[in-house]
Chains A and B, each alone.
Chain A
Amino acid sequence: MKKMMFGWSGAKLFLLASLLLTATLAPLSVFAQADPASDVIPAPKEFSLSTSDLVSYAYWVLALLVLLVIVYIFNIGAASEKLTGRAVINWTKVNAWMSIIFLVAGSAGVAYELIYHGKLLLPEAASAHGDSIDNMFNWTFGITFVVFVVTEVLLFYFLFKYRQKEGQKAAYYFHNNQLEIIWTIVPAIVLTFLVLRGYSTWHNITQTPEPKAKQIEIFGYQFGWKARYAGDDNKFGEANFNFIDPATNELGLAIKPSVIALRDTLVADTGRLGKDLRTLPAILKQKADQLSKMSLAADGKAYTDLEQELEDIRNGNKASELRKMMKRKGVQIQRINATLASKDMFNEAANDDKVTTEIHLIKDQPYTFRYRARDVIHSAYMPYFRAQMNVVPGMLTSFTFTPTKTTKQMQDEEKNPEFQFYLFCAKICGSAHYNMKIKIVVESESEYNAWIEKQKRVVEPVQPEAPAAPAAGSDTTATPKTAIKSNQKPSLAMGF
């Protein structure tokens, strides 16, 4: 068999060395370039900059040392190879020993990970079904870890043991039915076990009815969450994406005055858009005049922006955009009009619903979270409860679980008085995807009652002493006269 070793010319060696050197030094300059000048850099927060710097410098220094040793060895190797004509570095041996070193160091690494990072994993589940997931996990971990260790050890041990040796010939061994049948059947049995267990766990979590579950609607949008409680009537009001008004009716609830106001706004918008469309030539002229009084040098971006605007008007983009917007709003108006008469839709059930910016839950009470999305897909992830479900526009999804630990309990267990549960987004959904969360508080029933009592109804019942405006053509049947809650546009009530 041929020698796999090459001679090492000085030039090659030099190249290799300088290559690795730049490799080693380049990042240093990267770090060095980090701008320490701006004193806004928050002085060491969670981590101290100096520690992290030290760590990274240490890495590079270490790399440099290793490099030096290597170069040194090569130098000797190359020189003596020239002299004796024999390879100094026996790469077969080096690689074989590297396998063993890798195995030992790797095991140490895995042990380190399990011990130190293992501590950072999630604490015991804070939900009833969570235990069954953790249990499933432990079984899977136990089995796969054994397989992992056995196969990886064999792999690297074989590399070492059966490395090429003078005069050694490999075994001509290519087939053994019995062996192959065994190692097909054994994994099959083990996997059957995992599948069956997994199936029952999954079934219990997702397909077992929980008649006592309270419902909460979780509404996801770019970029945040809202929770809705059903209120005293224990019934959620209807909702529809066509009713959404970010200022007064974020969730698009079926509240007649609000929806009518929205429709009127849309009608007005459409009218304005139509007027814009008709007067485009005049606008064009006016803007062109404006532009002629400006100059690129003096106005910079304002100039180019205006230029772009003019261009859009000239080539018809503006007009088609206006038409599209009118059409879209037209469709929305039609849809609203079509539902307005529906008694099922506008049944007043929404009035006493409560929309909140925190989720409060009672310990040991089963809950079904019903998810709605406003715009794109989100995912409601609550790792401490071992719960996750996608939140999909146009489709209702849900997840049922029972919280079993209060926030306080968790704070004690974690020895962290700041600890809070959160629900956060796990499906990529746009620029602030990484920061889309809502706080969850798990508490006792009385604490919960106190909290929910304080939350505002979507539509406050009108105070008896407040003189109600004369209800012209009102179609509200019973109940006190309603007005939209505080942050409404004042004009809303005028619709009646």
Chain B
Amino acid sequence: MSTAAAHGAHADAHEHHHESFIRKYIFSTDHKMISRQFLITGIVMGVIGMVMSILFRLQLAWPDQKFAILEMLLGRWAKGGVLDANFYMALVTIHGTIMVFYVLTAGLSGTFSNLLIPLQCGARDMASPFMNMLSYWFFFLSSVVLCWSFFVETGPASAGWTVYPPLSALEKAMPGSGFGMTLWLVAIALFIVSALLGGVNYISTVLNMRTKGMSMNRLPLTIWAFFFTAILGLLSFPVLLGAALFLIFDRSFGTSFYLSDIWLNGVGALENVGGSPILYQHLFWFLGHPEVYIILMPALGITSEVIATNARKPIFGYTAMVISLMGISILSFIVWGHHMFITGMNPFLGSVFMFLTLVIAVPSAVKVFNYLTTLWRGNIRFTPAMLFAIGLVSFFISGGLTGIYLGNAALDINLHDSYFVVAHFHLVMGSAAIFGMFSGIYHWFPKMFGRLMNNTLGYFHFWLTFIAAYLVFFPMHFMGLAGVPRRYYAFSVIPEFNVWLEVNQLITVAAIMAGFAQVLFLWNFFYSIFRGKKSDANPWNSNTLEWSTPVEHIHGNWPGEIPTVYRGPYEYSREDREEDFYPQHIPGDDEGHGHGAPKTKSAPVHTEEPAAQSGNVLFSALKKVFGFSPR
């Protein structure tokens, strides 16, 4: 933190009152502080989620071994040092929930949308700083409720992160479906409120509060990504809220939305008839699939920005990048059925979902090719942020390609709910998005804390994590292809699975290695907050607006007027410039082309009417639809 003293020194530059500790650090309405709150909470949750994964990985690798450490940590859940089968499920469930929602939705999108939307658009703060504060505190409350569920007699929710009913609906179906499940649902409901408050804010800020000259086609790709992410969240989270409410009703008020024809051990025949468990799955995945893009797109946005900055090259195909983001966003709403090919859904519907799912591969491929071409003939500077961005691209390729298997209904018959799925989503969503998040942290750390992180530790962090992640997740494909199902406490169901024991040990060792690599990161992060080397205003020689603000955070971001924007964000290595960058706010009579406008010299200045050219039809259409105009 750039210390209160430094902050005070700048106070005179701006109307400023001295704030109490509480207003400044706790109930802050400043987007930069809120962003840091999201980040720190996300990191804490991430550590919890990771430790959980290591605990259950120990069980999978050495099922017969007794680990004193387990009993020490978990008490009655690991009597005699052996993990309890029910608690294994609980760990897997909460691990998945934490990673998906708390780390990679709130921790990633919450942090960087908050930090960058006002700074890169050129706004003094979010459209509604107060709602923004609420968004964080709902998230915080939600995290507390989720963690509380570990102290419940019957344990936390354990029906998998998808909490399919009837398993999750019937208290007697498994211990984790008791009070722990209620807490899970409450936590998710609070989380959704947080996500919606945030999303509304992000969208309105991007649409209404851009600075002069910041037309939509000059927005950095980060902002485009956050923008589409917020729209996805706004449209899909309410559906999950509905699904969760129905589930709460079924659990507590005797309704039968998801229940029918059930005879439960220890209870007998239930009264419920007429509901459908499949209905829940449709509702869940209507959020669930967009959710994976809610996770991934901010990471892709960050990657675009970091790669362009560090390859010192304009991002290749700006327009194509935006269009593919938009295509992915739209398509992501109509592919949820690929999670349900073999649920008994009409097989014809399966064919439709198969087609739509594989269509998504096209915009995804375009993004990969564009990243590659951006690197081609670049002048690549290896900052840790850059390495993590490259890591993302690598995971996005290897994880994305296996999506082509899973999206194929015929192949999914054998792959569904197998370790192949675990491998797939950990690469394309887990590892890729986490790497995007790391990339963002290393890149914008100077902006958030005014100091630099240590590069050397960053390099170690990257290579160790990168190699470990592949070691953990790559072999899982083969387990899946051999028919090993996921969410198994032990692989003893058929003798053939014993051959995977050694592989499981390798995976666990690699997971522990990955865990320790994160210690390097944590140390680097927290040490650098207080003792890192002081940063310059623009440490990466970047073009975007956030680097035109002073290093010390001030309310309103810019001491004087908000700078005007003169060109697109990716004018790197222009032939006509001495320096290899050309910040957006530096006046200059030419507009540049690096943002993907057609290379016609005929329209050097088109701030007023950027449309009328093939590449910009999209933007003019957007402008008409939304009625926004750059100030």
Q: Which A residues fall within an 8 A CB radius of B?
A: 1-2, 4-6, 8, 12, 15-16, 19-20, 23, 27, 30, 33-35, 38, 41-42, 45-47, 49, 52, 55-56, 59, 63, 91-92, 94-96, 98, 102, 106, 109-110, 113, 117-118, 120-122, 132-133, 136-137, 140, 143-144, 147-148, 151-152, 154-156, 158-159, 162-165, 168-176, 179-180, 183-184, 187-188, 191, 194-195, 198-199, 201-203, 205-207, 221-222, 240-242, 244, 246, 252, 327-329, 331-332, 335, 374-377, 379, 381, 383-384, 386-390, 392-397, 418-420, 422, 424-437
Q: Known A-B contacts: A122-B481, A434-B487. Give 20 more (CB < 8 A).
A: A6-B455, A12-B454, A34-B67, A49-B65, A56-B509, A169-B379, A174-B318, A175-B319, A180-B317, A187-B361, A191-B362, A194-B358, A194-B404, A207-B347, A241-B263, A332-B268, A389-B342, A394-B261, A394-B262, A397-B343
Known: A117-B503, A191-B358, A202-B409. A35 touches B365 (CB 8 A): no
Nearest residue (CB) in A for B418 is A426
Nearest residue (CB) in B for A199 is B351
Known: A152-B397, A194-B358. A23 touches B516 (CB 8 A): yes
Residues of A near B474 (CB, < 8 A) are 109-110, 113
A178 CB to nearest chain B CB (Å): 12
Residues of A near B362 (CB, < 8 A) are 184, 187-188, 191
CA–CA, A387 to B341, complex, Å? 12
Nearest residue (CB) in B for A419 is B496
Interface code B151-185, partner A: CB below 8 Å = 1, 0 otherwise?
A: 00000000110001011001001110000000000
CA–CA, A43 to B341, complex, Å? 44
The answer on a CB contact under 8 Å between B314 and A173 is: yes
Nearest residue (CB) in B for A395 is B344
The answer on a CB contact under 8 Å between A328 and B317 is: no
Residues of A near B262 (CB, < 8 A) are 241, 374-376, 393-394
Give 7 CB contacts A-B under 8 Å: A55-B502, A180-B369, A195-B354, A241-B263, A379-B417, A419-B496, A427-B164
Question: Which of A198, A390, A397 is close to B411, meaning CB atoms less than 8 Å apart?
Answer: A198
Residues of A near B398 (CB, < 8 A) are 148, 152
Residues of B near A1 (CB, < 8 A) are 381, 541
The answer on a CB contact under 8 Å between A331 and B271 is: yes
The answer on a CB contact under 8 Å between B377 and A162 is: yes
The answer on a CB contact under 8 Å between B580 and A392 is: no
The answer on a CB contact under 8 Å between A388 and B383 is: no
Nearest residue (CB) in B for A424 is B493
Residues of B near A121 (CB, < 8 A) are 478, 481-482
The yes or no answer to B359 lying at the interface (CB within 8 A) is: yes
The yes or no answer to B523 lying at the interface (CB within 8 A) is: yes
The answer on a CB contact under 8 Å between A187 and B365 is: yes
Question: Which of B316, B343, B359, B501 is close to A174, meaning CB atoms less than 8 Å apart?
Answer: B316
Nearest residue (CB) in A for B163 is A428
CA–CA, A217 to B350, complex, Å? 24
Residue from B85, B390, B456, B541 having most chain A Cβ neighbours under 10 A = B456
Nearest residue (CB) in B for A396 is B344
CA–CA, A41 to B629, complex, Å? 73
Residues of B near A180 (CB, < 8 A) are 317, 320, 366, 369-370
Question: Which of B268, B368, B369, B378 is close to A329, meaning CB atoms less than 8 Å apart?
Answer: B268
Residues of A near B265 (CB, < 8 A) are 221-222, 246, 375
Residues of A near B478 (CB, < 8 A) are 113, 117-118, 120-121
Residues of B near A140 (CB, < 8 A) are 404-405, 408, 411
The answer on a CB contact under 8 Å between B85 and A431 is: yes
The yes or no answer to B333 lying at the interface (CB within 8 A) is: no
CB contact list, B501-517 vs A, under 8 A: 501-503, 505, 509, 512-513, 516
Known: A434-B488, A437-B493. A244 touches B269 (CB 8 A): yes
Residues of B near A395 (CB, < 8 A) are 260, 276-278, 344
Q: State the total of A-B contacts with C-beta under 8 angstroms.
A: 410
The answer on a CB contact under 8 Å between B596 and A151 is: no
Known: A5-B455, A180-B320, A207-B347. A47 touches B313 (CB 8 A): no
The answer on a CB contact under 8 Å between A170 and B378 is: yes
Residue from A33, A118, A205, A436 having most chain B Cβ neighbours under 10 A = A33
Residues of B near A202 (CB, < 8 A) are 347, 350-351, 354, 408-410
CA–CA, A96 to B170, complex, Å? 55
B242 CB to nearest chain A CB (Å): 20
Interface code B367-378, partner A: CB below 8 Å = 1, 0 otherwise?
A: 011111101111
The yes or no answer to B425 lying at the interface (CB within 8 A) is: no
The answer on a CB contact under 8 Å between B269 and A241 is: yes
The answer on a CB contact under 8 Å between B379 and A168 is: yes
B245 CB to nearest chain A CB (Å): 21
Q: Which 10 A-B pairs have the closest CB atoms?
A: A383-B483, A394-B260, A174-B314, A397-B344, A206-B347, A201-B410, A23-B516, A394-B261, A117-B478, A33-B68
The answer on a CB contact under 8 Å between B173 and A222 is: yes
The answer on a CB contact under 8 Å between A381 and B410 is: no
CB contact list, B170-212 vs A, under 8 A: 170, 173-175
Residues of A near B361 (CB, < 8 A) are 187, 191
The answer on a CB contact under 8 Å between B505 and A55 is: yes
The answer on a CB contact under 8 Å between B417 and A170 is: no
Residues of A near B313 (CB, < 8 A) are 170-174
The answer on a CB contact under 8 Å between A427 and B417 is: yes
Question: Which of B170, B366, B372, B482 is close to A154, meaning CB atoms less than 8 Å apart?
Answer: B372
Residues of A near B390 (CB, < 8 A) are 155, 159
A401 CB to nearest chain B CB (Å): 10
Nearest residue (CB) in A for B311 is A170
Known: A117-B478, A393-B260, A395-B278. A46 touches B501 (CB 8 A): yes
Residues of B near A98 (CB, < 8 A) are 463
CA–CA, A35 to B66, complex, Å? 6
CA–CA, A396 to B491, complex, Å? 29
Stretch in contact with the other chain, from B4-12, B119-127, B282-290, B570-578: B570-578
The answer on a CB contact under 8 Å between A173 and B354 is: no
The yes or no answer to B602 lying at the interface (CB within 8 A) is: no
Known: A121-B478, A122-B482, A194-B408. A172 touches B520 (CB 8 A): no
The answer on a CB contact under 8 Å between B381 and A392 is: no
Known: A159-B380, A172-B313, A183-B366. A428 touches B260 (CB 8 A): no
CA–CA, A6 to B457, complex, Å? 10
CA–CA, A462 to B383, complex, Å? 84
CB contact list, B243-260 vs A, under 8 A: 259-260
Known: A207-B347, A375-B265. A386 touches B317 (CB 8 A): no
Nearest residue (CB) in A for B350 is A202
The yes or no answer to B618 lying at the interface (CB within 8 A) is: no
Residues of B near A241 (CB, < 8 A) are 261-263, 269
The answer on a CB contact under 8 Å between A16 and B457 is: yes
CA–CA, A393 to B273, complex, Å? 10
Known: A133-B414, A174-B316. A252 touches B263 (CB 8 A): yes
CA–CA, A194 to B406, complex, Å? 12
The yes or no answer to B494 lying at the interface (CB within 8 A) is: yes
The answer on a CB contact under 8 Å between A392 and B380 is: no
Residues of A near B397 (CB, < 8 A) are 147-148, 151-152, 155
Nearest residue (CB) in B for A125 is B414
CA–CA, A329 to B64, complex, Å? 43
The yes or no answer to B86 lying at the interface (CB within 8 A) is: yes
The yes or no answer to B270 lying at the interface (CB within 8 A) is: yes
The yes or no answer to B81 lying at the interface (CB within 8 A) is: yes
Question: Which of B355, B382, B573 is close to A96, meaning CB atoms less than 8 Å apart?
Answer: B382
The answer on a CB contact under 8 Å between B378 and A162 is: yes
The yes or no answer to B443 lying at the interface (CB within 8 A) is: no
Nearest residue (CB) in A for B351 is A199
Known: A170-B573, A428-B89. A376 touches B173 (CB 8 A): yes
Nearest residue (CB) in A for B86 is A431
Residue from B354, B382, B398, B413 having most chain A Cβ neighbours under 10 A = B413
Residues of B near A198 (CB, < 8 A) are 354, 358, 408-411
CA–CA, A207 to B347, complex, Å? 7
The answer on a CB contact under 8 Å between A432 and B512 is: no
CA–CA, A49 to B188, complex, Å? 42
